Chain A
């Protein structure tokens, strides 16, 4: 039981969300559901990255009354994965919006959200 730590739980949840997202991407026929699968995949990767940067018994990388300025590198968790995820969330949001606008345009053209009706680029 000593293996179950906060970090392991969040890593497992992240991996599970990645797998659910990939399953949705590969099996769903509805275009909106494919976009949701992509968003889940994205979120899972964010959870995994943040939990890898976590260090036990340490606090958020913000210097305040809880973190001594001169001993900061022994008191805070890794700020780099957090900065990366901050970047990745915004880009993921932009890409999801872009995919949804493609879906909207495709629906306007063919009045169908089923991906099996789109065979134009299938070889």
Chain B
């Protein structure tokens, strides 16, 4: 491609929410340089404000926060907070972007986030609310990135005083706004959106009645670190509510003033989650009721979540759109008046609290940004993309992900982020011969056999530690511990000055073990490990003793006890580190070939992107031609020509020199480790056996078009599926034009006990076909019998259009399903109409069943056995983390794309195909596979092959080898240590946490006690 000229190697990512962070991390891991800018002073975005996330109801911050600190640490990521784009010039591959950085008045390199400034001048400095117990919306988010304060200069009245309290001299009073020009090859837009402020509506009382809150505010109230410390209480009187009601679609799916017409896609799930968590965490007897229009639980396994919420937790759901909320002034209670489909009379119910489910809005600032970027927005203000290029904006070289593109939840944002990163990375030419950048550490000295010489360095962290205990006294005591060769108080140990001093001392005194008495290893271990490496010591020879977070911060009021405890903790650290030994991080050369299983739209997109990066791709397809299920689709809801797209895509794949297409091929065996797999394939009509060596595997085996034997399908040829109708409209328009009355039935074979999940695609395909049929014959009567219409995002526009054109939507309940009969005069459908309250008998020229997709159970089962991969109950492959790693699988080196993951549209499959390629590139960019060091090791001599470890391992790693003892592949070991703890012969040790290290710590603790 001509864009791949030597030039900028950098990608600019705008927006540091989860999407932007994911994109930046993917790019950095793929050896690209990244500039990540965010207008805020810390990255994290919206997700860090959530309490728990569906569908697991976990607090996922512990999962996302490593991502956040990771992005601060990544060498290739230049993080620029408080920075905005001014102007973009140039073309893809060669952009000049002018960015402006606001003054922070704090030197990021010097600030240690000690908090002295906030302590003295709480109003002048800002920190991510997480650590700030005063902030009304504080969150449990202990790892703000960058880990530094910022100064609100408007509020500072005395900069000298502020400088006076900062012990490390990080205050920069004359900091100025800076403008610079970045030379970048591509741009990823990930600015997200805001949530609608319902105070502009006058009917729900938001901002007027204290007990009316938004979903996000409710989330804060429930949060353990929220303003009420996890007590669920209502704002007006601090009492626990007994009845909480949710109103859905507030400001969304409307045509009134202040409404937006689209669906925000996430609110149904978050309302359900909030209701379930209310029941789960607080009190079963709190009544929860959700007022909704359509329950849109269309994501992977979301329908089950709905079923559980209703059946197990007793969350009540009422289909209606309440008109207003009225407060009873004396009690603060709120009454909601509503009417339901089955009962025309108005009812009024009283709630203690009402939660308004508000959706996404594109802020004005994003529209202005789009103008500066020169990209088109759609009518709703989201970045315009085309049907088959889901992350490409209208300007080549600028890509988009997350809510900037359309409303979506976290997993879909993650998928898109990796796709956008992959597409942006493809703009850059990377020289394959480029030598992997080495981090310049001196060679490691061999300390085995040397007696331990421990250096103990104790931080005072300003007053954080030093204000509670006398560090110099502590240091004196530590000197008497065994093996301690040197001790010193080091002030702020993590500051550059102190690090330099410690490095000099380590060399001067020939120290071979180090204990740092400071803050949490969770945040600072890597920093001190790197310090050791700079001194030629193995990074596993340092122990961080957390005397700040776990001692001085919590025992401020009893300095004597705190000092004693710090001493004990340090003693434990010293004893432990004496038993530490150098660990080798295993590594092996990476095989750069890729195996893609499945030649549908997802597999082909992944293959093309990877082959475009110069990698060899084997594309294995079991059928005799490429295309998969998308080959049977003619048009998308948006009117794009799928047939032409598919033939172009297939031609490109087949012509690509780097892609070897293996048709009529099946996988028969598999072995190896991530980065070095060998897979056996039988290929061609004669089932010729061949072996492929590859580093990663992408699974894109698709799903099956469902054809359940219901409603005369397969018995009467006037009963069709949506897929049949899609083809008929294209291939035989005359026969369709001749139809006067057509009935569609939704959720056939989905959302029922045998296939409990929603097929996601059927509502939009029904509306797509209805609109196309209406175009052929505007007089045609079309009835769509449905349980909910789940036209999420901008699909809602087409739902509205269908209603406008007279398509009739009739609701049915699963216990009163419609019935289809064949008569001499045609088909007759009996359906019960809730609104009319009677049975209808409608004759039809055709009945179209929305049968959706069903997992290809046989294929996924076979492959899951061969590859040792997990599946969900309904036969789809199970991703590693449903929220944050939707494209990665639990076995490293395996990635997942398309409908093998869950039902999705063609566009969504393309996105995940690109996403899988992007995730694969993060691995393939490496020359070596680093297998880490914290792995379990078996002593073969002690092992009696009792199989306990084989059964205990959550990842099925241990096996009994040919020599008859258990073997644990370091490449597959996750390092939990469960096997080590369970082994009755004590034959297994978990490196870094060996038994003698743990016991030594106990010795240190009880040394002087007995």
Asked if A and B bind, the verdict is: no
